[in-house]
A and B are shown apart, each in its own frame.
Chain A
Amino acid sequence: MEILGIPIQALAGQLLLGIVNGSFYAMLSLGLAIIFGLLHIANFVHGAQYMVGAFVTWMLLQYLGISYWWALLLAPAVMFCLGVAIEYVFLRRIYELDHFYGLLMTFGLLLMIESIFRYYFGSTGLPYENPLPGGINVGFMFLPYYRAWVVGVSLVVCFGTWFMIERTKLGSYLRASTENPEMVLAFGINVPLLLTLTYGFGVALAGFAGAMAAPITNVSPTMGTHLIIIIFAVVVIGGLGSIMGSIVTGFALGILEGLTKFFFAPASTTLVFVVMVLILFIRPAGLFGKERP
């Protein structure tokens, strides 16, 4: 079917892919923004943590026969523990230092984690069975169930997280600690513990995204590598200061990418970076940015 000469089916298909990609951009940049806001660590290893989440999901099925639905709970739980361990052993020691040491250390962790997985699993991807096969024809396009599920769940998770941070008491501890952690400590709250748990939560979010990605992309050790750089561009565009900013920017860029793929495919891989460059000239602090550029 065509409207104004544009094949609607193809466009809608590409848009759907875009929204699905946007879901992952949103979830991952959300986790990164939360970690950076509170811990001031640019969690370079976030992409690798997403990859490990996917692998945990795959391993749960492969070695323990545990299905996708349980993996959606277990993989984030495992990643939460991993995150807590990383924070406690490594990150805790460098809070006092210049912020770029956080980037350097997480870069080192990324090299370590990715190389281990590449060693054991090679670089080619491992398939993971789609738990929700099939789809429904909605007239102008075919909507696969799993893709719809991904978009739905990520919207719920993203806005649930936003709500937790902006509207609950725990969230007020987080927001206050982002602004003035010393004062929050002086009120009696164990801020170091809060930092640890928050990092764990951010990593769990990445792991959850990985679990959701497993049926879509092949589970491979390099699945997070290029993605993390896109996520960095997303957070520069959106501004790290705002939770809602990361979510909206993530979805928007995914959709934009989908449209670009439809209208001018060769540009789609570089679109996010081009947008980043534009934003840096128009609004250096980012679309929703609050800090001084």
Chain B
Amino acid sequence: MPVSRNFQIVGWILVAIAAVAAPLVFHPLFAMQILCFALFAAAFNLLAGYLGLISFGHAAFFGVGAYISGYAVKSMNISPEIAIVMGTAVGAAMGLAFGIIAVRRQGVYFAMITMALAQLVYFICHQAPFTGGEDGMAGIPRGNLFGIIPLANNYVMYTFVLCVTGLGLALIYRVVNSPFGMLMMAVRDNDRRATSLGYEIDRVKLQAFVLSAALTGLAGAMKAIVFQFASQTDIVWATSGTPVLASLIGGIGTLAGPVIGAAVMVALENLLSGFGEWVFFVQGAIFVFVVMFFRKGIYGELKGWAERNGGSRPASRPADVSSGPVATMPQAISKSAS
């Protein structure tokens, strides 16, 4: 249930201010890190929150997207926007491959399979020469956007990343609010019923998976150019856990959740960066804490609070709902038909 209009307008204004001010208040690299990670988390959340498929292998798309775009810019002299498209395309292709294999099983098995497939990709990348193996791919140039706009300036780069991330998030918003999005949620809530009504749920899952993987590849591709570095840390299994945690902290199954969670996690990481292993310890502790006590996440809790305290409750809308029983099948169907 969306909160009242005023709340939303205020929210959007705050977001716009934050987006413009961020590179000025914080270091632009920090702000870009948040954006890339926010897109990564949001792409994961598309699958996890709205379709109910928890993938523990998204690092594969992220890392390979990074390698592809990095290699394109560095060794093939391709201009950055095309390199990013290439990273996205490869991400989508991998998503198709992963998806065809993984959607054969459900739930926890699905997670295990995606994890194993990502590990497979990790080993392949480790052995492939172009990735630079353990040393990684360094010195990726920023290049010139469209051949003419130099991206070496952090503020210019930031504007580009902001636009791309914004477009990515907008795409996710559109998908979630479309008939396809409603179908996704219907499959999440009751896949047997969806099948009995004639929907090919494997098709739905696969399409969503490809989209999620593509956007993740996009995030990775951008990240490689922003930080001018791609390495196997991007593909390691622990990286697959980061969008999960970000979405969980922020609120699974909401649109703002992953973005908020991403900001929290990047901030935390930078705060604790001097403390080595404690970053992971804190991440793990937050995981445990959130699963036990805080499953709705920051945005989920905020929305719940706002609704209870004066936000209007219009008739059920399927968009932007937090996880839990949501629009039931018949409602979803009639909505998509109207």
Contact = CB atoms under 8 A, between A and B. Distances in A.
Contacts of B248: 104
Contacts of B104: 280-281, 284, 293
Interface in B282-299: 283-288, 291-292, 295
A103 interface: yes
B117 interface: yes
Interface string B34-73: 0000000000000000000010100000000000000000
Interface string A18-39: 0000000000000000001000
Interface string A78-118: 00000000000010011001011111110111111111101
Contacts of B280: 111-112, 114-115, 118
Nearest to B117: A273
A77 to B, nearest CB: 25
B215 interface: no
Interface in B116-148: 116-117, 119-120, 123-124, 127
A226 interface: yes
A277 interface: yes
Interface stretch (A182-190, A196-204, A231-239): A231-239
Interface string B223-248: 00000000000000110010010001
Contacts of B284: 107-113, 115
A270 B281 contact: no
B107 interface: yes
A73 interface: no
A107 B56 CA distance: 10
Contacts of A119: 276-278, 281
A287 to B, nearest CB: 14
Contact of A42 (B111, B123, B279): B111
B109 interface: yes
| Chain A contact residues, majority secondary structure | helix
A280 B113 contact: yes
A276 to B, nearest CB: 6
Interface string A174-193: 00000000000000000000
B54 A100 contact: yes
Contact of A115 (B106, B115, B278, B286): B278
Of B54, B117, B123, B284, the most chain A CB neighbours within 10 A belong to B284
Given A93-B292, A104-B244, A273-B117, A112 B281 contact: yes
B281 A107 contact: no
Chain A contact residues (Cβ within 8 angstroms of B): what range? 35 or more
A274 interface: yes
A236 B116 contact: yes
Interface in B189-227: none
Contact of B120 (A107, A235, A240, A270): A270
Contacts, number: 123
A115 B283 CA distance: 10
Contacts of A118: 277, 280
Contact of B108 (A90, A94, A103): A103
Contact of B116 (A105, A109, A229): A229
Given A119-B276, A293-B105, A105 B291 contact: yes
B219 to A, nearest CB: 21
Nearest to B244: A104
A107 B287 contact: yes
Contacts of B106: 293
A140 to B, nearest CB: 32
Interface string B256-281: 00000000000000000000111111
Contacts of A5: none
Given A103-B111, A108-B291, A111-B281, A276 B286 contact: no
Interface string A248-276: 00000000000000000010011011101
A229 B119 contact: yes
B288 A109 contact: yes
A107 B54 contact: no
Interface of A: 36, 42, 90, 93-94, 97, 99-105, 107-116, 118-119, 225-226, 229-230, 232-233, 235-236, 240, 266, 269-270, 272-274, 276-277, 280-281, 284, 293
Interface of B: 54, 56, 101-102, 104-109, 111-113, 115-117, 119-120, 123-124, 127, 237-238, 241, 244, 248, 276-281, 283-288, 291-292, 295
Kindly list the 10 A-B residue pairs having the minimum CB-CB distance in the complex, ordered from nearest: A108-B287, A111-B284, A112-B284, A115-B280, A273-B120, A108-B288, A232-B112, A119-B277, A115-B281, A233-B116
Given A118-B280, A269-B123, 10 more contacts: A90-B288, A90-B292, A100-B107, A107-B56, A111-B280, A115-B281, A119-B276, A236-B112, A280-B104, A281-B101
